[in-house]
Homo-oligomer: A and B are copies of this chain.
Amino acid sequence: MDDWLKDSVEVEASWVTVDLAIFTIRDDRLMVLLIERGVEPFLGRPALPGGYVQKNETLRDGALRELWEEAGIDGGRLHLEQLGAYGDPQRDPRGRVVTIAYLALGPDLPAPVGGTDARRAYWASVSQLMAEAKGLAFDHLAILSDALEEVRRKIEYTAAATAFCGESFTLSELRTVYEVIWGEGLDPSNFRRKVLNTVGFVESTGERWHPPTGRPAGLYRRGSAWLLSPPLLRGTGNGA
């Protein structure tokens, strides 16, 4: 890089990182992937997985690489989107580090292995973390909080909820995703009607799944639509 502007005292080179808020649903709870930091600063403290963006990769590629390196997760199987940039000058004790936060949603993922900069990686309950509201390195609690709010809104007007399910899923599974993330129960019958009436949300695979007990459930896969119209609105009450 040339040294244009090197003489300006106001502008200074920065380091750019990506951090990942990776969500999944396990045991009917919303979980986020955390690592235990193996390097300074915040050595030993829980943090979102992430790391430096390298020389010739896009931000998204950096996120995918960190996903693999730190959590052992193949990004091809989950939904990844940018959440936003966090650049408070005080957020990193080492100096000016701007981080680009990414949001990842995936089906029940394998217990991850620790990566290079991480002693270990593990799934943590989001509701528990938010209740404690402490412990995370850097401004990762704020990032996590923003990510959670984004997920809650995203599943209202996009098909993002399907990212938490496998290739094919029952409508009950999908409904559980909403119930877990919104923290409220939904009427199964009305939920079914809404989802099935929203064109392109899901499409039937023709197959059916036999639960341990009860009537077999039809299986669906994600439809062609990402934006839902009309959206599934919470709050106004979708049922009991």
Contact = CB atoms under 8 A, between A and B. Distances in A.
B82 A58 contact: no
A226 interface: no
A12 B55 contact: yes
Interface residues of A, number: 39
Contacts of A85: 59, 82, 84-85, 100
Copies in the complex: 2
Interface of A: 1-2, 4-5, 9-16, 52-59, 82, 84-89, 94-96, 98, 100, 157, 229-231, 233, 235-236
A16 B58 contact: no
A55 to B, nearest CB: 5
A98 B10 contact: no
27 contacts: A1-B15, A2-B95, A5-B52, A10-B55, A11-B53, A11-B54, A11-B55, A12-B54, A13-B13, A14-B14, A14-B53, A16-B16, A16-B87, A56-B89, A58-B88, A58-B89, A59-B85, A59-B86, A59-B87, A59-B98, A82-B84, A82-B85, A85-B85, A98-B98, A229-B235, A229-B236, A230-B233
B230 A55 contact: no
